[in-house]
């Protein structure tokens, strides 16, 4: 047996909650004991459209949070889904009680500091979703957690009230000024680093945002773990469509699969300027 996909299970999950929050749907799945091997950063791959659907590929979603009732051996997984394509719209239309074909947990997880540290969590749009689960874990390990979230406009910010309890501070940035501070979520990062309140940055959101944070983090030599998003067909490492140019320890750039060698990657190694360009 190989170590790739070693925790992944192919299961039938039941929708136990589906609530609209702003422009997104918060979908809660009953998934059994796979939550025990699920960590912040992992994702799920879900079949959409039903048995005779013309949509043949699974859709990948970041897991925002998990909960586990040890007495019943039953775990739940929360996903934040933006209904922007036919597959995600189908998922958002699933009622409580519906069964879903799910493969999880997949991909790499965020690394957790071994000693208490000051963590800055940066989310763009619904990319903030997995950061709330991460924040809970960081807090439980004695870390200080500051979160900054950004989007073009207020309705695209995902910041649930209960999630705010797991952070020490939360600031919102919108480009149109409709909520929080007017500007980009990357604006305050250099200042925070200079104040000495950032030991590690965790980020999730659009690729342009991840690239911008990487530039800031590289210049300041701050560790930056980012969860990337690249369209994928399989989610399990066999289709080779979700690759990103990443530099390895020998200084060579390789096209790595964001499904099994990600989604969480070291931002300093991703060759952002080569994404979508002819590979070396």
Partner 1 sequence: MSELDFSTTLGPAWFPTPVFTASGCASSGKELSQFFPLNAIGAVVTKSIMLKARPGRPTPRMAETPSGMLNSIGLQGPGIDAFLANDIPWLLEQNARVIVSIAGENVEEYSVLARRLRSVGGISAIEVNISCPNVENRGLVFACDPNASRAVVDGVRRTLGGDIPIIVKLSPDVTDITEIARGVVDAGADALSLINTVLGMVINVDTMRPHLAGKTGGLSGPAIRPIAVRNIYQVHQSLPKTPILGMGGVRSGRDALELILAGASGISVGTATFSNPVTIINVQKELRELLAAKGFASLRDAVGFAHRNE
Where on the chain is the footprint of partner 1 (CB under 8 A)? 1-2, 4-6, 8, 10, 47, 54-58, 101, 103, 230-234, 236-245, 253-255, 260, 274-280
- Nearer to partner 1 by Cβ, of 54 and 115: the residue is 54
Nearest distance, CB of residue 255 and partner 1, angstroms: 5
Nearest distance, CB of residue 184 and partner 1, angstroms: 23
Nearest distance, CB of residue 43 and partner 1, angstroms: 15
- Nearer to partner 1 by Cβ, of 47 and 166: the residue is 47
CB-based burial label for 184 (10 Å; 0-12, 13-18, 19+): middle
Distance CA 99, CA 82 (A): 20
Helix (H, G, I), strand (E, B) or coil at 252: coil
Nearest distance, CB of residue 11 and partner 1, angstroms: 12
- Nearer to partner 1 by Cβ, of 183 and 276: the residue is 276
- Nearer to partner 1 by Cβ, of 180 and 267: the residue is 267
Per-residue tokens: 199: 């030991």
Distance CA 104, CA 42 (A): 8
In the chain, count H helices and then E strands.
5, 15
- Nearer to partner 1 by Cβ, of 16 and 55: the residue is 55
Per the CB < 8 A criterion, the answer to whether 258 and 237 are in contact is no
- DSSP letter string, 52-102: T-S--S-EEEEEEEEEEETTTTEEEEEEEE---SHHHHHHHTPPTT-EEEE
Nearest distance, CB of residue 206 and partner 1, angstroms: 15
């Amino acid at each position: 047996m190989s170590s790739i996909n070693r925790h992944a299970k192919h299961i039938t999950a039941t929708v136990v909650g589906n609530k609209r929050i702003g422009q997104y749907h918060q979908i809660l799945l009953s998934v059994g004991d796979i939550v025990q091997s699920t960590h912040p950063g992992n994702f799920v791959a879900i079949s959409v459209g039903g048995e005779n659907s013309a949509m043949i590929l699974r859709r990948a979603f970041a897991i925002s949070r998990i909960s586990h009732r040890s007495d019943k051996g039953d775990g739940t997984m929360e996903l934040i889904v933006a209904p922007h394509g036919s597959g995600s719209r189908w998922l958002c239309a699933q009622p409580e009680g519906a069964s879903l074909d799910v493969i999880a947990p997949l991909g790499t997880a965020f690394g957790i500091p071994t000693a208490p540290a000051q963590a800055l969590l940066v989310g763009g749009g619904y990319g903030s979703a997995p950061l709330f689960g991460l924040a809970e874990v960081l807090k439980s390990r004695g870390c200080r957690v500051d979160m900054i979230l950004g989007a073009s406009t207020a309705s695209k910010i995902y910041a649930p009230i209960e999630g705010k309890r797991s952070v020490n501070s939360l600031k919102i940035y919108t480009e149109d000024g409709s909520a929080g501070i007017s500007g980009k979520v990357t604006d305050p990062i250099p200042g925070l680093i200079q104040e000495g309140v950032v030991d590690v940055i965790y980020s999730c959101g659009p690729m342009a945002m991840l690239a911008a944070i990487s530039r800031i983090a590289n210049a300041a030599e701050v560790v930056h773990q980012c969860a990337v998003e690249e369209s994928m067909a399989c989610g399990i490492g066999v289709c080779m469509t979700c690759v990103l140019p990443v530099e390895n320890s020998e200084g060579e750039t390789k096209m790595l699969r964001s499904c099994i060698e990600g989604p969480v990657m070291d931002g300093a190694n991703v060759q952002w300027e080569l994404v979508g360009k002819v590979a070396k």
